[in-house]
Structure 1
């Protein structure tokens, strides 16, 4: 299995963002990839919610999603569109942060709404309140693919190992973690958390990331990664935006899991009691 990752610096113009993803799809296909992975918020990254509202739509009318589905069909390649901000999907009016797995015929095979929302105050002075505009998802998602089952997550989900245990218990051998990590948290935790998730699950981890100084004023860490089930880094795109490639030997999953059978050794644990 050959994977391609699109590391981008997504801006505030959905048309430009769509064009960049379509170009990445063509590059991925030309490079022999079976599937392209894009970062969180691939269609629009705009912290000005008033301005962003004019560029948001529901899934059926999202311009970026339509362009990606058409390009995937034309190129004959799968795409994991890391996530889009979508409006009009909920009765309460809140947005969803949704990842979509699209096959080589342009069909949406799976949808995942981000469960854990990024509400933090960082020592750097950055403050984020994702829950002020977004509703959390409530369902873990594992999707069937020609290469094995894929578990879906988004960015801040990375910090919650119970989600990844749920995904690997459901048979996931590939874990996708599209992200727009901040620079301070990326420097501190990005590599170690992704390697830990791969080792715990005995699975490949594919993490396409945003990178650079964005038009809305934020900065993201980059370092899109592909990690094998042993925790070895197969690809690190550093701070360079564009399309990167990695080859996955899916037999590696069974090999690693046979050597250290942590999935077979998992046991249900009752809630802790106070002694």
Structure 2
């Protein structure tokens, strides 16, 4: 058995307050025995128009990357650092998720591939991530002491071919930092997560934003851990919290032997 945690936040445009809250929640998860924590998308800054400035600063001093590395080393756990903005070549930014080992060393980074451009009819109305964000183009699966870890971000969840590419790389655990809107999240979040866990026979650790961020933006919460059979191991409602569960890695190995889905693929 191994214990893992999804961290749910209600991040704001106050960078300092967000980092204090993230630090406290990581410490809480570590104190409860978690060996891996996943932070949500935009954990450090949410709803601000200053992401380009933050990305430029991060390119020079890497403050947020150092923060994540320090959390991993201090608590001796693997940290999937939600997303932070990093500069793109065309003047936009990437939504980048850094993964840190318990030593504090960076194991790799993933740039969100699929960008959320949609009209939902909620308070926000129109979402155009591609105005500010550039898409990544590479799949990430890294070796960790807990198995092979893959990372996807939020809207990526709707594109199963990305997760099949992770399966091709032998993925065991999928981390999914997110900031799902309330309307889409309450309709689709859990069914999509369960599907990704079942079809790839993986543990899914999905860390979402969960609350009211400003007058126009509400996120759906429901951060969750789902095992390779599709069972919900632990789940949040709304509000900032840690979601922790034990996971039986031997059970996952046994399931893959009994039902070798990956070997049965034809297309």
What is the TM-score with the length of structure 2 in the denominator? 0.94
- For 2:113 and 2:199, locate their aligned partners in 1 and report how far apart those are by CA, in whole Å: 20
Report the CA distance between 1:72 and its aligned residue. 2.1
Q: 1:216 to 1:172 in 2, by over 3 A?
A: farther
2:58 corresponds to which residue?
Answer: 58
Larger mean Cα displacement after TM superposition, 65-74 or 17-26: 65-74
Report the CA distance between 1:73 and its aligned residue. 1.6
Q: Which runs of 5+ in 1 are unaligned?
A: 270-275
2:101 to 100, 103, 110: 103
Matched, 1:230 2:229: yes
1:1-275 to structure 2, matched below 5 A, reads 1-46=2-47, 48-49=48-49, 51-56=50-55, 57-86=57-86, 89-124=87-122, 126-215=125-214, 217-267=216-266, 269=267
Native 8 Å contact 1:22 1:68 kept in 2: no
What is the TM-score with the length of structure 1 in the denominator? 0.91
Report the CA distance between 1:60 and its aligned residue. 5.0
Q: 1:60 to 1:74 in 2, by over 3 A?
A: farther
Report the CA distance between 1:228 and its aligned residue. 0.5
Larger mean Cα displacement after TM superposition, 152-161 or 252-261: 252-261
1:272 corresponds to which residue?
Answer: none
- For 1:141 and 1:58, locate their aligned partners in 2 and report how far apart those are by CA, in whole Å: 21
- For 1:203 and 1:75, locate their aligned partners in 2 and report how far apart those are by CA, in whole Å: 25
Number of equivalences: 264
Report the CA distance between 1:217 and its aligned residue. 3.7
> What secondary structure, in the 3-state scheme, does the structure 1 residue paired with 2:192 have?
helix
Q: Which runs of 5+ in 2 are unaligned?
A: none
Native 8 Å contact 2:71 2:79 kept in 1: no
> What secondary structure, in the 3-state scheme, does the structure 1 residue paired with 2:99 have?
strand
- For 2:256 and 2:99, locate their aligned partners in 1 and report how far apart those are by CA, in whole Å: 26
Report the CA distance between 1:33 and its aligned residue. 0.9
Larger mean Cα displacement after TM superposition, 154-163 or 212-221: 212-221
Report the CA distance between 1:118 and its aligned residue. 0.4
- For 1:229 and 1:255, locate their aligned partners in 2 and report how far apart those are by CA, in whole Å: 11
Q: Larger radius of gyration, structure 1 or 2?
A: 1
Q: 1:243 to 1:60 in 2, by over 3 A?
A: farther
Provide the aligned C-alpha RMSD in A. 1.6
Can you list the C-alpha shifts for 1:245-266, whole angstroms capped at 9, x where unaligned? 1111111222222232211101
Report the CA distance between 1:59 and its aligned residue. 4.5
Q: 1:138 to 1:53 in 2, by over 3 A?
A: closer
Can you list the C-alpha shifts for 1:96-137, whole angstroms capped at 9, x where unaligned? 100111111211111000000000111436210000011100
Report the CA distance between 1:75 and its aligned residue. 2.1
- For 1:103 and 1:17, locate their aligned partners in 2 and report how far apart those are by CA, in whole Å: 22
Q: 1:195 to 1:60 in 2, by over 3 A?
A: farther
> What secondary structure, in the 3-state scheme, does the structure 1 residue paired with 2:88 have?
coil
